[in-house]
Amino acid sequence: MDTCSAMTAESVGEILKEGGADVMVRSGSSESYGSPREFSFEVKAIFPNGMGMHIVARQFTYRDPWEAKGRVNDLVDAMLLRDGSLTPLPKGYPWFQGIEEECGLDEERLRKIVECVRKVNVKLYLLQEMTGDL
């Protein structure tokens, strides 16, 4: 049995809102644009500390052959933003070390990343830039 829980644009937005972020949500298709885009949904968020996240569900996982009821997103990709640009986290955090994107996240890992990003002290970037660690 599959242990992943399905994620929707709304459920990902709620996870980010619970973390204190302002959130914008967009699905891959709309009433006026019938063909799907290259993603099924994307969610953008900005936290009070100025850090941002761009979360994308690129494709659906099909749980049944007829698509009608089994079209879900089990995994998403998250990109980290600071001042509108992609960025890794400063050293010492469990995520985004030397990379700007974490791929294939399930809901549990996404919640852990949101908790981590919302607590980042952005002054660490300046400190680590001064010491040459970043």
- How many CB atoms within 10 Å of residue 58? 16
Answer yes or no: is pLDDT of 125 > 80.
yes
Answer yes or no: is pLDDT of 2 > 60.
no
Answer yes or no: is pLDDT of 32 > 60.
no
Specify the pLDDT at position 118. Answer: 94
Please report, for the chain, the start and end positions of each structural domain, with discontinuous segments joined by +.
9-131
Mean pLDDT of the chain: 82
Specify the pLDDT at position 21. Answer: 96
Note whether 96 and 35 are within 8 A (CB). no
The model carries a pTM of 0.79
Answer yes or no: is pLDDT of 11 > 80.
yes
